[in-house]
Structure 1
Amino acid sequence: MLPPELPPLPALTRAEGELIDSYLAAADLLGRANPGRGGDTYAALRAAQALVARAVSLRDALARMHARGETELHARTLEQALRVLDGERRTARVALPPQEAPEP
């Protein structure tokens, strides 16, 4: 049985596509470096080091959009793209994990 087909990715400019890709890559790295999620220091260090390059990519995508006169982020379209690309799961690791209930 095949998995369900994903909805189509909305039409994006090249810069919007780079923005989404860079944002999700940065979120992935922040999730790997999240001290509230545990893990080892070496993996967190590697994620933090890689985050620098992703932050530059994110900045550059936004700078290109601004230079081209794209003054608005079209939230609905970009949100749809984030959802299609599994953004909810990928950005969830950035937040603190749910607090465990204290034992009585």
Structure 2
Amino acid sequence: MKKLIAISCITGLTLTSASAFADNISTEKTTLLVEQGIIMPLETLEEKALAIKPGQITDRDLEQDDGRYEYELDIRQEDGRKWDITLDASSGEAIKIELDD
């Protein structure tokens, strides 16, 4: 019984701490942020990411991390390489460009 309680506590802490670092943004909130000029349109951000690493976008997420909106994209190139690209959603500046193993 003590093991079960310990596992439950660890799981709860893990889920809570993960959500403290980054929160996914809903479609409705994304639309509002674009309309208010807080973030760039997602199409524009995708164009910026594809200019950095041409290929096919396979996944995309808008998150708020440490108060900053970030657009995270996964891009697969023709040669099969996969890239993780994170852009500042307000400025379009590349925050991270990383080859995904």
TM-score (norm 2): 0.28
Bigger relative contact order (CA 8 A; separation at least 6): 1
Larger helix fraction of residues: 1
